[in-house]
Structure 1
Amino acid sequence: MDDFWVFGYGSLMWNPGFPFQERQQARLYGYRRSLCIRSNVYRGTDENPGLVLGLERGGSCQGVAFRVAGADREPVIEYLRERELVSHVYKERVIAVGLVDGRREMAMTYVADPDHEQYIGDLPLTEAAHIVRNASGRSGPNVDYVVNTVQHLQDMGIRDALLEQVAATVVAQVAAAS
């Protein structure tokens, strides 16, 4: 069975949770990273949903591509579907990515479904920061998710201005409340 690729743009970059043979920075064209998904499981609750990342149409997104051994295909796909398709706000897609070494590969990824009730695009920065600051779920505080993602992006030399602004606004709000 052939190896396959998985593209991560959020927590998958720093917490893939599956075995892989190779990890490379990659760019996916046609979609951009966005805090556009209400999270009522991992980073929020039904009463107080948090915000997590999704891929929205337009632009491009830098992230990480993982090459998974063909022998691990079924368990990795099962794991990813259990993790990413909890509420079906994401749609599983196989999309071309450009790897940092110049290769182009087809990679499995998860894009936001704009017709899903948890989709919430075009939030003003202050509203997004307020939600992130005040939500927590099964995987911990929403702010940890945003700050970890920003830190890992920066460690790879990737800048995401909007995500960085949300993180900075949350940190300032916390400092002002202290």
Structure 2
Amino acid sequence: MSHNTIALNKQQQPLDHLDSVWLFGYGSLIYKADFPYMQCKPACIYGWQRRFWQGSHDHRGTPQAPGRVLTLIEAPGARCAGMAYEVTPDTFEHLDHREKNGYLRVFTELHWLGEPGQTQGLVYLASADNEAYLGPDTDAAIAAHIASSAGPSGPNSDYLLQLAQALRDMDEQDEHVFAIEQQLLKLLK
């Protein structure tokens, strides 16, 4: 599958018939909401975990030297916390462009943090069959890759450091993110 998924998302997930859609963010969408939204609240999804296994050719790297950003990997029993945004369907014009590098929109069950309830929402996932997928590596190798990458949205290290801080601000633990952050901080000294 091509890493540019804009047309595929529009074709597979038309949203015009909806008044609003909940969007779940688990990476940069937690700390960088550069789109209008009606409301925002902490949420989680079950059965998924964050992994720095996706290449970024357009934001935190270049086509010649992609950075590493997050995707979600299925993991029975896992819980992934993030932010949910209620948006209008036209907001996906911007979001599909922002998340075009191998990500497909998928509906999933969102569970609110700190309050009862759940709802259906969309999440962007980049699976192993997209051209930008980099796959697993050691924490040290991922940190070294992140330390040496930059793109139009800035240094790849900023993505990781801002995410780690946003998770701490939410009182959330993520062993994968924090282990790579620890390795990155050693390299940046």
Return the TM-score normalized by structure 1.
0.90
For residue 98 of structure 1, give the secondary structure of its aligned residue in structure 2. Answer: strand
Question: In the TM superposition, what whole-angstrom CA distance separates every residue of 1:59-93 from its partner, at most 9, and x where no partner exists?
Answer: 2311111122xxx322x1111111111x3x11111
Given that residues 96 and 104 in structure 1 are in contact (C-alpha distance below 8 angstroms), is that contact kept between their aligned partners in structure 2?
Answer: yes
Q: 1:138 — aligned with what?
A: 152
Shift of residue 117 of structure 1? 2.4
Shift of residue 56 of structure 1? 1.3
Select between 130-139 and 1-10 the one with higher mean Cα deviation. Answer: 1-10
Q: 1:54 — aligned with what?
A: 71
RMSD of the TM alignment (CA)?
1.3
Structure 2 gaps of 5+ residues are 1-17
Q: 2:25 — aligned with what?
A: 8
For residue 152 of structure 1, give the secondary structure of its aligned residue in structure 2. Answer: helix
Where does 1:1-178 land on structure 2 (aligned, <5 Å)? Answer: 2-58=19-75, 59-68=78-87, 72-74=88-90, 76-85=91-100, 87=101, 89-100=102-113, 101-175=115-189
Between the two proteins, the alignment pairs up a number of residues equal to: 169
Shift of residue 46 of structure 1? 2.3
Give the distance between the partners of 2:52 and 2:28, measured in 1 at CA. Answer: 12
Select between 110-119 and 138-147 the one with higher mean Cα deviation. Answer: 110-119
Report the AA paired with residue 136 of structure 2: D
Select between 92-101 and 16-25 the one with higher mean Cα deviation. Answer: 16-25
Given that residues 6 and 67 in structure 1 are in contact (C-alpha distance below 8 angstroms), is that contact kept between their aligned partners in structure 2?
Answer: yes
Structure 1 gaps of 5+ residues are none
For residue 24 of structure 2, give the secondary structure of its aligned residue in structure 1. Answer: strand
State percent identity of aligned pairs.
30
Given that residues 36 and 54 in structure 1 are in contact (C-alpha distance below 8 angstroms), is that contact kept between their aligned partners in structure 2?
Answer: yes
Give the distance between the partners of 1:122 and 1:36, measured in 2 at CA. Answer: 6
Shift of residue 155 of structure 1? 0.5
Report the AA paired with residue 23 of structure 2: V
Give the distance between the partners of 1:40 and 1:21, measured in 2 at CA. Answer: 30
Given that residues 49 and 131 in structure 1 are in contact (C-alpha distance below 8 angstroms), is that contact kept between their aligned partners in structure 2?
Answer: no
Structure 1's consecutive aligned runs of 4 or more residues displaced over 4 angstroms after TM superposition are: none
Return the TM-score normalized by structure 2.
0.85
